[in-house]
Amino acid sequence: MSMNLHGGHPGQTFERLGLPPRPVTDFSVNVNPLGPPWSVRKAWPGLISEVSRYPTLDGDGVRAFYRKRFNLPGECVLPGNGSTELIYLVPRALKIKRAGIMQPCFQEYERALRLGGAEVFSVPLSAPDLFKPLPVETWENHLVQADAVCIGNPNNPTSTITPRKDLLELVSRHPDVIFLVDEAFVQFLDHPGNVSLLHRRYLRPNLLVFHSLTKFYCLPGLRLGALIGHPDTLAGIRPFKEPWTVNSAAEAVAGLLAASRKYERYTRELIAYQRQKIAAALADVPGIKLFPSATDFFLAQWTATHDLDGLLRPLLMEGVHVRDCRNFAGLENNFFRFAVRTPAENKRFQRALMHIASYANG
């Protein structure tokens, strides 16, 4: 059975299930359901003038965003063509030899580390423990054999949050281990400031944070993000990076995002309220096990039939696409993920899910 490595490709799922394609609402991608900020939409036609010239070598427009929005000095920011570029750059530049990855997680960490020449081992979260964060002692056991560890925070697809104080304690106790923390979804949290390491005071030479601007600002097609770290560590990585990877339209758009505070607030309110409603509506549906979420997506498990296709097929026929998670390590047993979207879309999704579950439960 071939399955998508990423969300956002309903066509492949239609094909795999032998169904004729039709328009769907795509719950398999966790981007802001509001779409890009209004300021970006308004500026869009004018961006044609940007693409007729080369962008800056190192994405200065994105660097300026992090200075304005997070008060991060330019020397602590390495912009990229989405955080994916930087996830691939770091193992290559730092010549990581042996890395632990908190799993299940975004699958590109493992691929990037292996392509960079690293050996990889799993630091597993436990489904019976609801994918709760690992205690510091568990990390200690894993860290003895690693020169790097990779931790999604919040983690995709489990929504696990590793407390900042635990991370900082481990970072200071293990100066020879490089901590790679992915904060692609951190801005969707109710209080990102309680979790995020995107502040000058938290930066250490053995800590690197991947940050994305494509999820929270709904710009996945524009590709922009950054690696945040200590100036000395970034100075060692920068020489390995290709020039011009942040395009000039993305640079110009980054300049608009720093002033999107109203959009940010509204997004967080919308997500928080909808998340609560979804959790309440699906808490006791027979055939669906919902895992706790603090962000803009839920992990769930289908237990009504033996095969997740028993859910995916009728959902697609109802015009709903979710992320099949069976190709994540540890999620083979009928796990799926869905995004929190607009009120009307969420309602439609819940209705479809409940209807299919009641039908499957006989």
Which chain residues interact with ligand PLP by CB under 6 A? 82-84, 106, 152, 156, 182, 184, 212, 214, 220, 225
Q: How far is the CB of 144 from ligand PLP (least distance, A)?
A: 26
Q: What is the DSSP letter of 146?
A: -
Closest CA to 180 of 217, 216, 155: 155
Q: How far apart are CA 362 and CA 358, in angstroms?
A: 6
Q: Which is closer to ligand PLP, CB of 31 or CB of 177?
A: 31
Look-up: residue for tokens 């990423």?
6
Q: 55: cis peptide before it, omega within 30°? A: no
Q: How far is the CB of 6 from ligand PLP (least distance, A)?
A: 6
Q: How far is the CB of 205 from ligand PLP (least distance, A)?
A: 23
Closest CA to 114 of 153, 88, 139, 93: 88
Q: How far is the CB of 184 from ligand PLP (least distance, A)?
A: 4
Q: Which is closer to ligand PLP, CB of 84 or CB of 346?
A: 84
Q: Which is closer to ligand PLP, CB of 65 or CB of 106?
A: 106
Dump the DSSP string for 210-236.
EEESTTTTT-TTT--EEEEE-HHHHHH
Structure token pair of residue 286: 């027979």
Q: Which is closer to ligand PLP, CB of 206 or CB of 212?
A: 212
Q: How far is the CB of 82 from ligand PLP (least distance, A)?
A: 3
Structure token pair of residue 270: 């919308």
Q: Which is closer to ligand PLP, CB of 303 or CB of 327?
A: 327
Q: How far is the CB of 85 from ligand PLP (least distance, A)?
A: 7
Give φ, ψ of 222 to 5 degrees.
Answer: -90, -25
Q: Which is closer to ligand PLP, CB of 294 or CB of 354?
A: 294
Q: How far is the CB of 159 from ligand PLP (least distance, A)?
A: 11
Sheet holding 148-152, edge to edge: 77-80, 225-229, 207-212, 178-182, 148-152, 98-103, 119-124
Distances in whole angstroms, Cα of residue 26 to Cα of each of 9, 135, 156, 194, 230: 9, 35, 17, 30, 38
Which residue in the shown chain puts its C-beta closest to ligand PLP?
82
Q: For 94-125, give one letter per residue: b (16+ CB within 10 A) or e.
A: bebeebbbbbbbbbbbbebbeebebebeebbb
Q: How far is the CB of 213 from ligand PLP (least distance, A)?
A: 7
Q: Which is closer to ligand PLP, CB of 104 or CB of 152?
A: 152
Q: How far apart are CA 223 and CA 237, in angstroms?
A: 20
